[in-house]
Amino acid sequence: MGFFPKDYEIRVSKLIKSWVVGGFLKPRRGKSLEEVANEYLKDLMERDLLLIRKRGLLREIKRCGGVHDLLRDLCRRESLKEHFLSVPKSQHVDLCFEENDEHRYSLICEGVKVHLPKVLVGSRSTSLISPLVGVSYPQPIRLSWLGVKHGRHSQELPLYTKLRCLSLNSFGSLDFLSPSTISQFWNLQALYFDGGILPNVVLPSEIWEMPQLRYVIIPEGFHLPIVTQIESLIILENLHTFDKILDFRCTEDVVKRIPNLKELRISYSNHGEVDWSYYCLHNIANLHKLESLELQYYTSSYENIAFPYSLKKLRLSRCTKSWKDMIVIGSLPTLEIFELCGDDDFQATCMDDWNSVEGGFRQLKVLKINGLCFKCWRAESTHFPKLEVLKLGDMEFLEEIPCGIGEIETLRTIKLEFCSDSVEESTKKIYEEQQSFGNEDFQLIIDNKRYQN
C-alpha cells in the first residue's frame, strides 16, 4: 500500500490483479487466486486496515481508500528495507522518452531518474547502485512490473524474463507488441494497453504461446491472431481476462486454448450485412468457466450464438435485438446482472414492446436498460423473482414501469436518469407503495437525487 499516493482511491479490481500478478497469493484448493484475493481484501477491511470508498449496485466493494498515515509510513519503510519500491525491485517504473542529444530513455522511480544505459550496464554486472536507498545489491536488476510511456526503439530496453506485467500507454509503445520483443517475456502475466482506440492492430501470434498469461486488457481496435491447427497447441490455462477484442472468432481451436477464461469483452466493426456464422459465436457456450461477457455491435439473431450456463454478467451494447430473443438470455441459470445499452451518442435503439414471461431470469439481481426506444413493458413480480436493482436511463419513449415490479419482495433500489415524466410518476407510485408496506430500506433515485415524498 506504500506504492499508492496518500488518500488515493484504488479500484479493487486493479488491486486484486496487482496482488495476483505480483505473486503474493498462494492457491487454495477449489478457489481461484482472485477469490483468495477477495478474502484477503475482506479481512483487511474488517480490521480497518483498508477503507471502503465506494460500493457497487450489489453492495460489493468497488473502490477502497489508502491506509492510515502511520500504517502507510510503516509500509514505505518496510518496502525500502525489502527493496520493493527501489529501482532494482520496483513494481512500477515509468519509462520516459527524452528529446535530447542522445535520444535515450530514462527510468524514473519516486522522482529519481536513472539513465537507461547505466541500467543496462548494471543489469549485466554483479551489482547495481540504487539512487533511492544508496546501497549495492548482489543480484542484477529484475523488474516485475514495467510501465511504458512514449516508448520507441524497444530494442534499447533490457528484456527481462521475470517481467510479470507490461503496461503500455502510448501509440509509440507498440514496438513492445512486436513478435521479437513479446516472445522474450515468457513469464508475462498481464498485458495492459491504455493508448486509446487504434484501428486494425493485430496482436502477435506469440501471444498464444505465453502459458503464464492471465490478463489481456487492450483498447478497441485490437485483433487476436488467427489460430490454426498447424501451430503447437499450448493451453493458456491461467488466462482469466480478454478485454477488449475486435471481431473475435471463437473457433474450436480458440476455445481449446482458453478453457478457463472468465471475462470476455468483444466488439464488432461490421455493422451491415454480416455472415455471423464466420465468427463461430455458438462456441462461446463451450467456455464453461466464463462468468462475464460483453458484446458490442452484435446484430444477428440468437440462433448464431450460444451462452455458457456459467454466465453471471451479460452486457449487450448497441445490439439491435427483438425481445423474443430474450427468452434465450432469461433461461441462463446463474445470470445475476443483465445490461442492455443503446448508442453512446444517445440515439435510441428501437425495439419491440417487451412482454416478460414467467420462468426466466430466476437469479437476476440487477437489470439495467439504457437508450432503448420501446414504449410498453409488461411484467409481473414472478418474472424477476430475485431482482434487487432496476436502473433505467435515457428511456424517453417508455410509458411506465410495470406496477408488478413494485411487488418484487427483494427489490430495494430503482434508479432513473433522463427518463420520461410518466416513467417517473409510475416509479413514485411504486415508492409510495413500498413505504406503505414498511419497506424503509427501499430507495428511489431520480437523476442522482434520492426521492422522498
The 10s digit of each residue's pLDDT in 206-223 is 888 888 999 998 877 788
Arithmetic mean of pLDDT, 281-286: 95
The three cell numbers locating residue 68? 492510515
> Does the pTM exceed 0.85?
no
The band of 349, judged by pLDDT with boundaries at 50, 70 and 90, is low
Res 99 pLDDT > 50: no
Taking alpha carbons only, the member of 63, 58, 59 closest to residue 16 is: 63
Give pLDDT, residue 452.
84
Partner residues linked to 370 by β-bridges? 341, 393
Residue whose cell numbers read 536507498? 133
Q: Beta-strand (E) ranges in 328-407?
A: 337-341, 354-355, 366-370, 377-378, 389-393
**β-strands 389-393, 413-417: how paired?**
parallel
The domain limits of the chain are 10-71, 337-453
**pLDDT tens digits for range 136-162:** 333 334 556 666 655 554 444 555 567
Looking at per-residue confidence, does 372 or 367 come out higher? 367
Q: What per-residue confidence (pLDDT) applies to 195?
A: 64
For residue 272, is pLDDT > 80? no
Per-residue HEC secondary structure of 145-195 comes to: EEEECCCCCHHHCCCCCCCCEEEECCHHHHHHHCHHHHCCCCCCCEEEECC
